[in-house]
Chain A
Amino acid sequence: MTLELSLNQQPAHARQGSSIGQPLTRRDGFLKVTGAARYAADNHPPGMLYAVLAVSSIARGRVAALDIEAAKAHQGVVEVMTPKNRPALAADPDAKDHPFMFRLDLLQNDQVRYPNQSIAVVIAETLEAATEGAALLSPRYEVLPARVGLDGAESFVPRGVGVGGPAVQHKGDVEAGLKSAKTRIEATYETPAQYHNAMEPHAIVVAWDGDTLSIDTPSQGLAMAQGRIAGLFGIAPENVHIRSPFLGGGFGSKGMISGPQVLGILAARLVGRPVKLVLRREQMYGPVGHRAPTRQTLRMGMDGEGRLTALDHHAKTASSTFDDFFEPAADASHTLYASPAIATSHDAVRLDTGTPLFMRAPGEATGSIALESAIDEAAHACGMDPLEFRLRNYAEVEPMTGKPFSSKALRECYRQAAETFGWASRPLQPRLMRDADGFLTGWGMGTATFPALMFQAEARAVLRADGSGLMETGAQDMGQGAWTAFAQIAADGLGLDIDQVDFRAGSSDLPNAGIAGGSGHTATAGMAIHNAGAAVIARLADLATGNEASPLFGAGNEGVLARGGRLYRRDDESRGESYAEILTRAGLSEIEGHGKGAPDPASQETYAKHAHGAVFAEVKVDPDFGQIRVTRLVGAFAAGRIINPRLVRSQYYGGMIWGVSFALNEEAITDRRSGRIQNANLAEYHVPVNADVPSVEALLVHEDDPHVNALGIKGVGEIGITGTAGAVANAVWHATGVRPRRFPIRIEDLLG
């Protein structure tokens, strides 16, 4: 896909030299604010029908009967897809070939394993007819009791957590460390189930042409979606064309193709016409993932100077009854604070819910709020300022592995954020600060961290005889600004102004850009772009330096610079010529180069790679009502090289607000009898509104990292949540003297 933009819709890009580092506004911003950006559900191929899911009322059991006749008799209904007539698949949707493959509910039988599971699909001429048809199915069930809550089933130790990490790990002797400690704390924290709730629901528009599929659907991982769909339908991946130019948020829930999306494809196959299927908001509470609840117990021991002697972090979590994803919450204790003994462990229960999934900072977010709360308790137990305590336990090497950090400007983050916030005047004891209106005021802090991950990506670069460039990679813009940041990297990689570069992304027909997840997209696809640019420039340089007619003849590849659409001799910048001249002389209309982005295995072995940050929060609590308001947030983050400070600041703001949401708002509340979530809508599943976040500041701390990748990029998508949620919780304690142990923190927790 190319952005359908004419240049006069964009502000002129003021630059000095490179595009990287410039605070460009979003190139897709104009399209989005005018409604011209075409999201998946905006597509209407000719002859398209509407598909609506019928979903399960019950949490567990089987569908005993559906009134298919009533649905089909309804005017406008074309077909009802059930397990009986669902087109055959080439692969079992319950098969699991690798940990990144999740089992899907594709009407393979009449079993129900969670509320809102798809039990039929009604396809009709209009959305209204399909909706009514789905209601007319009036399912009858054989119901089994729902298994609900972290105590709702027998617990076990999962084989792996997160993406397959060990459930139990340790170094040193935690029990001995606790025994030798002068001060000890132990505390248990509970976090609730949370749902991604992207603004854009999962939507798919599908058209089959023989064995070729044309699909519009939001995807954070186009190549993975393409492969999964191809496998399910037994067709070649290149026959699956997916367009995903814009996602209205993903947060992990659009990382893998979901069951409802595949049902849209099946529906189109069944009726032989294009089909659109869009989830309703309440239908997003089940089949598209969530963050599982956790109950975490931390034990810490400290010596007389406040140094940790032991850190033990146990997390209980939940998965579905039929698939494995275990929130790796305790692993948050691997990377942050130095301790001679660290133990982390997980256990889990299987509940009648949809399978939990990656949700923005999976494990890091849940683990961070518990760890940062416990660190705050430990600091208080030692009579120390929380910042001083964190500095006392500053990890010079990665605590669990002993590896050096590739870079770690965390001290500078602490310093800048604390100074900006005014932390130095904080009283040690809680409940000592009041504002002029009598509100209890509290200050809290948390450390932020997130691994600097890279996956695999490819890009293709083209230079054309007219002097312009093209960069292609199937990157995904979830709203984070990929259209802009990648174009900046492409411009520098090609030695062109950004307006001279045609940047294409958001389609599975382009080179595989890997997944927009794990905060690794900019680093991974960015490196592929960078390398593709270098490859095509190298070809161009070969053409010039090997041609006697060129002023660059004989300069050799190492001796050439690419800038502003021209190549120059490195040793004599007065000698150069334009790309157009080189290609025209060579009689070529265009040349291309390819590049890959991937983690460097050698430096993976040698270094621990993480972004870091420090977040400080001020809250005000009404002493009579327990009503909490966050009045100020200051975060400072060091995440390697910043491609676009404007976009990065937005990522930090969004992450920090998500952290506030974690601490104070979000919770899916389950009816324990039915297993159903009772606030499956945006009126009652709370996230902060604008009035809840009056002042958010994000400082960008300079950090050069020579080891993560050639561009020095870490990643900024998820780190803002970590640290912030704990900082808010700690500020609530500092305001009230009440230690939050259950999240979100509610009025009733502070009524006293």
Chain B
Amino acid sequence: MRDLSYFRASSVDAARQAAALPGAMLLAGGTTLIDLAKCGVAEPETLVDIAHLKGLDSIEVDERGATIGALARMSHVADHADIKSRFPAVSEALWQAASAQIRNMATIGGNLMQRTRCPYFRDPANFPACNKREPGSGCSAIGGVTRGHAVLGTSEACIAMYPGDLAVALVAFDAIVHLGERQIPVDDFFLLPGTTPDREHAIEPGEMITAIEIPGSAAARRSTYLKIRDRQSYEFAAASAAVGIEFEPDGRTIRDLCVALGGVATKPWRARTVEDALKGKALEPETVRSASLLAVEGAVDHGANHYKIELAPRVVARAILKLGETA
């Protein structure tokens, strides 16, 4: 048996102090951490349980935006009336994530901390080489089974895909991660692998996600999350897009556009080139389709994942055009 300490934190401060100690990890819903511990990737010496902490599961929505406590459950956020009306893409991304059982357990803070499904990363017993687990040990995925690996944001050190849905919507709408006193844009919270794929999040020892803030906007209000996958539920995206749009008063000229991609990149992938190419333009299918191709500029495939480069722009274009139809 591998012994570990279990510490039930009495407050956010106590949790942060405990989590700052070497080998300590925060435990909320446990859907990622327990899974990773079972496959030998996570080896916590101390579990700092925060699941019961009061005041961290609130969901507050007003004109300015939404503030979602780190311990709010995925299913509660997905079903929240104001999230559905003001941030439909966020609700839709959550509904299409994981399974009902996992959504009932998993928290929003934990969701941001979920890790890649790269099968080589998740199998230390059989594939010792993994730069994400052991910096400098190499990458077993390159040259291996790659259908689910990233085509954007990869490096020579790592091609592991970011698997989540919610964060794609959060990146699209410039959400802010609250780490106690410090606040950082969610796009900066997720790090590119580069030469340090072991560092996935801009979170420091002793920090803890306390809330996610999503600024309200017209684009967020008219938004959607489109997820394409081999089966209808309980599956990660082959490609997905979170898109929000605001039209000029003429109802067809694009004033504001937010686009992010999932299932294709090493982090939730904001597609600003697509946004810039379409802002100020009229919403025409051909214009949208050709601009959407910019989403995969610079994409690099590793064989079996090539299809994602074809698929992702189509998903982006469909999502944008779908929002236009409801204008």
**Residues of chain A having any CB pair with chain B under 8 Å:** 57, 74-76, 115, 126, 128-129, 131-132, 135, 622, 624-627, 629, 664-665, 669-674, 676, 678-679, 683-684, 686, 688-692, 744, 746-748, 751
Contact = CB atoms under 8 A, between A and B. Distances in A.
Interface stretch (B81-89, B254-262, B268-276, B309-317): B309-317
A378 to B, nearest CB: 29
Interface of B: 1-2, 40, 117, 119-120, 125-127, 143-145, 147-148, 228-235, 238, 306-307, 310-311, 314-315, 317-318
A625 B230 contact: no
Contacts of A747: 228, 230, 238, 307, 311
Contact of B234 (A135, A689, A748): A689
A690 B99 CA distance: 11
A683 B117 contact: yes
A674 B143 CA distance: 11
Nearest to A693: B232
A692 B1 CA distance: 40
Among B143, B145, B228, B306, find the residue whose CB has the most chain A CB atoms closer than 10 A.
B145
B230 A746 contact: yes
Given A676-B126, A689-B233, A751 B147 contact: no
A95 B228 CA distance: 50
B230 A671 contact: no
Contacts of B117: 683-684
Contact of B1 (A76, A678, A684, A748): A76
Given A691-B232, A747-B307, A135 B314 contact: no
A128 B1 contact: yes
B144 A678 contact: yes
B235 to A, nearest CB: 7
B5 to A, nearest CB: 15
B315 A625 contact: yes
28 contacts: A57-B125, A115-B126, A128-B2, A131-B1, A622-B228, A625-B228, A625-B315, A627-B228, A627-B229, A627-B230, A664-B231, A665-B230, A670-B145, A673-B144, A676-B126, A678-B144, A683-B234, A684-B119, A686-B230, A686-B231, A689-B233, A689-B234, A691-B233, A747-B228, A747-B230, A747-B307, A751-B310, A751-B311
A686 B235 contact: yes
Given A678-B119, A686-B235, 14 more contacts: A75-B1, A627-B229, A670-B145, A671-B144, A673-B143, A673-B144, A683-B234, A684-B117, A684-B148, A688-B231, A689-B233, A690-B233, A746-B307, A751-B307
Given A128-B2, A129-B1, A678-B119, A692 B232 contact: yes
Contacts of B310: 748, 751
Contacts of A76: 1
Nearest to A58: B126
Contacts of B2: 128, 132
**Most chain-B Cβ atoms within 10 A of its Cβ — which of A74, A135, A625?**
A625
Given A135-B40, A751-B311, A689 B1 contact: no
Q: Which of A74, A135, A686, A747 counts the most chain B CB atoms within 10 A?
A: A747
A570 B292 CA distance: 83
Contact of B147 (A126, A626, A669, A672): A669
B36 to A, nearest CB: 13
Contacts of A622: 228
Given A665-B230, A751-B310, A674 B126 contact: yes
Given A128-B2, A132-B2, A624 B126 contact: no
Contacts of A625: 228, 311, 314-315, 318
A386 B307 CA distance: 32
A622 B235 CA distance: 18
Contact of B126 (A57, A665, A744): A57
Given A57-B125, A669-B145, A747-B238, A679 B119 contact: yes
Contacts of B1: 74-76, 126, 128-129, 131-132
A218 B311 CA distance: 44
A719 to B, nearest CB: 24
Contacts of A686: 230-231, 235
A744 B40 CA distance: 31
A394 B238 CA distance: 42
A664 B234 CA distance: 15
A135 B317 CA distance: 48
B230 A664 contact: yes
A622 B315 CA distance: 11
A82 to B, nearest CB: 18
A283 B228 CA distance: 31
Contacts of A692: 231-233
